[in-house]
Structure 1
Amino acid sequence: MSHFKCLVTGGAGFIGSHISRRLVELGHEVICLDNFDDYYDNRLKEDNIRPLLACSNYRLVRGSILDEKILEECIKDIDFIFHNAARPGIRESIKNPMLTHEVNTTGTLRVLEAALAANVKKVIYASSSSVYGNVDQFPLKETSPTRPISPYGASKLCAENYCEIYREVYGLKTISLRYFTVFGPGIRPDLAISIFTRKALAGEDIDIFGDGNKSRDFTYIDNVIDANILAMTRGMGVYNIGGGHSITIDELARSIIRLTSSSSKIIYGKNVPGDVERTMADIDKARRELGYMPKVDVTEGLKKYIDFVQANRP
């Protein structure tokens, strides 16, 4: 592969920093744009990018995708944009839907406008399985109904639609990768795997929303990064990026307890609005058109993540 100049928006976050690291390792030039918002402790983002700051082919820009001037400057002479910047969190989006829409939808529109003006080769957009909502067709195909049940899911679907419009109407090459519950080193601290692991290692009770029977297609971060690299030269449109298997939240908690040899007990609580009942990705299209094949399954991924947490405990 030739060496390219790449912009990673949200590049100090969990997925963005992993993409940046892989691109740097491959010899590409990387500009990381991140606004270091206050959604969670920024020290975690600083930790994500610390090893990259010493690399000659990596540059950090602190700023927002909503700032047209900064965006224009960052996209100048860029070949590929990996657009990961977003206001995350389903429950947070229910509390503040306007902010979620502004960052996730309007922000994506600004990125697409700037990309079109700069003749970018391709925009690789980080979408989400949240766009599906609660449907009764499994595994989920890219052609399955999209019925998001949270402002977050709606904002990601709207941004996806803009990507398709800019591809079909304006000729800008775009691809949307629908991630299914990504986890691994650097995962946000408010997500279940992070919370369950820390609780298990401390021997504390693990609280689950509902009866634990909700299920998810958990996808290890290395699989997602592979998909992003493949998407540089292959595919257009929408693709599911998942592990291809689904486990319940109860099974997840029990696996973490077992892998950590923990004495933690599971406590079941009330359901929360916005959480879908089940996700499981049909990845046939991604396998066929991108060459995507998840290499790390849930159990191996959990072991890797637990080892990371244990190695980095205070």
Structure 2
Amino acid sequence: MEITNQKFTIIVTGGAGFIGSNLCNYFLEKGHQVCCLDNFATGHRHNIEPFLKNPHFKLIEGDIRNLDTCRLAVNGVDYVLHQAALGSVPRSINDPITSNEVNVSGFLNMLVAARDAQVKRFIYAASSSTYGDSESLPKVEEIIGKPLSPYAITKYVNELYAEIFSKTYGLETIGLRYFNVFGRRQDPDGAYAAVIPKFVKSLIKHESPVINGDGLFSRDFTYIDNVIQMNELAMLTENPEAVNTVYNTAYGDRVTLNQMVALLKEYLSVYDSEISHVEVIYGPQRAGDIPHSLASVEKAKRLLHYQPQFSFSQGLKEAVDWYWNNL
């Protein structure tokens, strides 16, 4: 995806996390100066270890809840790619206060710091959870419902703050509503691990993955390389109509959890035929979960010229290969 030969200074907050470390890697390979800000609450040092000797990479170990740290991080920066957040609906239900402190207060600190440093543009990770109880499919950016979790509230508040900073202070912002991102470096461990890496690890160990509900809920699972493309397009677009708005960041198709597990077993069985015989366990439905998720990516295609490169099945094959060789 060659867009420009110009070199920029980019700050990736949450740069040691799954999405953040992939963004750091991509932009370092393009020859940009990359600064990672992370407090390692959910990110991992091993994700950024390969970059530490790169002269174009800088690590700031700090917390976005500290405004001075945010100011230090954005000093001399062209673009902010704000990925730092406490993800997970269940986590926010169990601890809404910390989710709010990080996702709202920390986000506001970054906006203020970016405004004062006069960065060119502030691109941030928004969330498909913002669609809440809206039942319309596919999801289009202008039609949302009421949030179904504290996490969803925090991500919606981010969009409201970004809009106000654009209108009031002239800070260019773009929100990317991520839909169930998966791929290399996504952590399979921990209480709030995402479903795909968690299931991959279970299946490799011949343990039965547990699906919440009957497995008929569907998701627009989005491979990491499509997300990287969207961040770069949002960063570099020169279309004035394309800024100060939000975009679905997805593939634009959906699969049920049952279909997802079936494909996982199929792809993993190439490495270990026993995996095809591992049974699935069905548990109770999870609070705050939306039944179906499917994005329209027409707005991103029209304004950013987005062309997702990886379908779910293509991305899953890549992810399975990575996990088999790295778990």
TM-score range, shorter chain: over 0.9
Whole-Å separation in 2 of the counterparts to 1:13 and 1:216? 22
CA shift, 1:136, in A, is 1.6
Deviations 1:141-178 (A, max 9, x none): 00112322011111001011100110111110000000
1:21 equivalent among 14, 18, 25: 25
Q: 5+ unaligned residues in a row in structure 2: which ranges? A: 270-274
1:291 equivalent among 296, 305, 313: 305
2:221 equivalent among 215, 218, 226: 218
Match runs of 1:32-181 below 5 Å: 32-37=36-41, 39=42, 45-181=44-180
Q: Secondary structure at the match of 2:236?
A: coil
* Conservation of the 8 A alpha-carbon contact between 1:199 and 1:264: no
- The list of structure 1 runs, each at least 4 consecutive aligned residues, that deviate by more than 2 angstroms after superposition, is none
Q: 5+ unaligned residues in a row in structure 1: which ranges? A: none
Deviations 1:61-83 (A, max 9, x none): 10001111121111111110000
CA shift, 1:247, in A, is 0.5
TM-score calculated relative to the size of structure 1 = 0.96
Whole-Å separation in 2 of the counterparts to 1:266 and 1:32? 39
CA shift, 1:188, in A, is 2.8
Q: Which amino acid aligns with 2:79?
A: F
CA RMSD of aligned residues (A): 1.0
Whole-Å separation in 1 of the counterparts to 2:25 and 2:324? 22
Residue range with higher mean Cα deviation, 240-249 or 139-148: 139-148
CA shift, 1:289, in A, is 0.6
CA shift, 1:256, in A, is 0.6
Q: Which amino acid aligns with 1:16?
A: G
Whole-Å separation in 2 of the counterparts to 1:69 and 1:161? 23
* Conservation of the 8 A alpha-carbon contact between 1:131 and 1:153: yes
**1:208 maps to 2:216:** no
**1:231 maps to 2:245:** no
Name the % identity.
40
Whole-Å separation in 2 of the counterparts to 1:30 and 1:5? 6
2:315 equivalent among 298, 301, 313: 301
* Conservation of the 8 A alpha-carbon contact between 1:180 and 1:241: yes
- Could you say which residue in structure 2 is the equivalent of 1:256? 264
- Could you say which residue in structure 2 is the equivalent of 1:272? 286
Q: Which amino acid aligns with 1:253?
A: V
* Conservation of the 8 A alpha-carbon contact between 1:133 and 1:146: yes
Q: Secondary structure at the match of 1:213?
A: coil
Whole-Å separation in 2 of the counterparts to 1:145 and 1:72? 33
* Conservation of the 8 A alpha-carbon contact between 1:100 and 1:152: yes
Q: Which amino acid aligns with 1:117?
A: D
Q: Secondary structure at the match of 2:155?
A: helix
Whole-Å separation in 2 of the counterparts to 1:148 and 1:161? 14
Q: Which amino acid aligns with 2:165?
A: Y
